[in-house]
Amino acid sequence: MNIVIGAGPAGTRCATRIAEAGHPVTLIGDEPGQPYDRVALSRYLAREVSQQDLISDLPATVTHRPGRAVTAIHRDTRTITLDDGATLAYTRLILATGSTPIRLPMPGATLQGVLAYRTMADVDAMIAAARPDAPAVVIGGGLLGLEAAAGLAARGMRVTVLHAVDRLMERQLDHTAAARLARHLAAKGITLITDARSVAIEGDTNAQAVRLADGQILPADLVVMAVGIRPRIDLAREAGLATARGIQVDAAMRTSDPAILAIGECAEHDGACVGLVAPAFVQADVAARTACGHPACYTPSADSAALKVAGAPVWSAGEVEQTDTQPLILDDPDGAYRRLLLRDDRLVGALLYGATEDAAWYMRLIRDAAPLGALRATLPFGPAYTHAEAAE
Ligand SMILES: Cc1cc2nc3c(=O)[nH]c(=O)nc-3n(C[C@H](O)[C@H](O)[C@H](O)COP(=O)(O)OP(=O)(O)OC[C@H]3O[C@@H](n4cnc5c(N)ncnc54)[C@H](O)[C@@H]3O)c2cc1C
């Protein structure tokens, strides 16, 4: 029997592929109910889709056991133990345990009204706590924090985003794009405080305010911490599998025990853990082939991140830092901003703000890594942008 632990996007995809190949598979997940589209949680928070729209169908041939945590892996007997005491035997075990959100260990971090942003349950708790005109604070101005802020603002809350560094989404954006995004959020009523060091959450049983190191007190009925994630590797580590930041795997997604595979955010391939759903799906497909006895090989490719915060389209892919790269910039103060990073006449990173229709075209150029040659002169004007300008 193939057993997949974790019914997030990676585990669900892998179980589906194994079932489609005609092999028996059991999918065990500790969240209740049917698997759902985690990426679409922000749209649910912002009332753009219903909860039902997020639910994913599983093939009838997948045995799904929701609301059950796996508590131990016994490699000597090839069995696992569940939290209800049951024992299941496996021939192949696939770990897809994902990540847990990091909680800053500050005073007040466990008060009611202090939430993470990871699961359907987190979003349901945010929706239950959201009151029009009530103050909310989001700690973290990365991709997730901004999506949470936009969703709470869409529910009428007065939202302040606290970000510890000097610009939003510093892993994806440069200063110019981050400043434009900040202006856009301000126009939507979201307040941003950069270089903000939150030191405590105040309140008796419920959160009431966030205190900053400089003494500022920000009222907050709801506090969302979106400060990063940590791969869930405890099961694997306790079973004696090789781990570093994640569970170490080879290109076929095999861990240090060839009967056990790992995929998605819990896996570490060639020193890197993925943090996006697209590469997690590729890993899931590779693991399904490996589990079914077919050769398969995972090749990492450049990450990309698309985000639409309250109507501001932003897209970035590949490298962000400018060191030893040459930037090409298109800066239309009222419209698009584009920064393209080149090394040795190849595109290695792209950042688009305001007009992102050319994203797939730039992604292909990054992945192909071919010399740009004559294309270089017109590179900031992708086909969609050029077409749109010509039509004006
Ligand atoms: C709000 C939000 C928005 C996002 N937006 C985007 C986006 O726009 N684009 C993008 O590419 N990515 C996005 N991401 C990231 C994306 O969701 C993750 O990369 C993806 O979910 C990783 O999938 P996974 O299956 O590896 O892990 P997870 O989604 O974390 O799934 C792991 C599952 O395993 C379960 N589990 C863990 N341990 C056990 C155990 N012992 N027993 C049973 N079950 C267990 C967990 O509870 C969880 O359900 C977003 C994430 C969030 C939270």
- Residue 61 CA, ligand 1 centroid: distance in Å: 23
- Residue 279: exposure state from Cβ atoms within 10 A (0-12, 13-18, ≥19): buried
Q: How far apart are the C-alpha atoms of 266 and 268, rounded to whole Å? A: 7
Question: Quick one: 208 and 240 in the same domain?
Answer: no
Distance CA 271, CA 202 (A): 39
The residue out of 202, 225, 248 marking a domain boundary is 225
Find all residues with CB under 8 Å of 153, minimum gap 6, and list them.
159, 188, 189, 190, 310
Q: Which of 188, 204, 225 is the last residue of a domain?
A: 225
Whether the pLDDT of residue 192 is over 70: the answer is: yes
| Cα 135 to Cα 152: distance, rounded to the nearest angstrom | 10
**CATH for 242:** 3.50.50.60
Domain range for residue 276? 2-100+229-291
Mean pLDDT of 234-244: 98
Contacts of 53 (CB under 8 A, 6+ apart): 40, 44
Q: Which of 265, 298, 301, 356 to mutate to test the pocket of ligand 1 (most atoms within 8 A of CB)?
A: 265
pLDDT at residue 24, rounded to an integer: 97
Give me the pLDDT at residue 389, please: 65
DSSP string, 212-246: ETTS-EEE-SEEEE-S-EEE--HHHHHTT--BSSS
pLDDT in tens, 77-86: 999 999 999 9
Mean pLDDT, the chain, rounded, equals 93
Closest atom, ligand 1, to C-alpha of 100: 30
- Give yes or no for residue 391 having a pLDDT over 80: no
Average the pLDDT over 228-254 and give the result: 98
Last residue of a domain, one of 201, 225, 249: 225
Rounded to an integer, the average pLDDT of 198-206 is 97
Strand 92-95 versus strand 260-262 pairing type: parallel
pLDDT digits (tens, 9 = 90+) for 301-310: 877 777 666 6
| Distance from the first to the final alpha carbon of the chain | 60
pLDDT tens per residue, range 267-310: 999 999 999 898 999 999 999 999 999 999 999 887 777 766 66
Indicate whether 326 and 248 sit together in one domain.
no
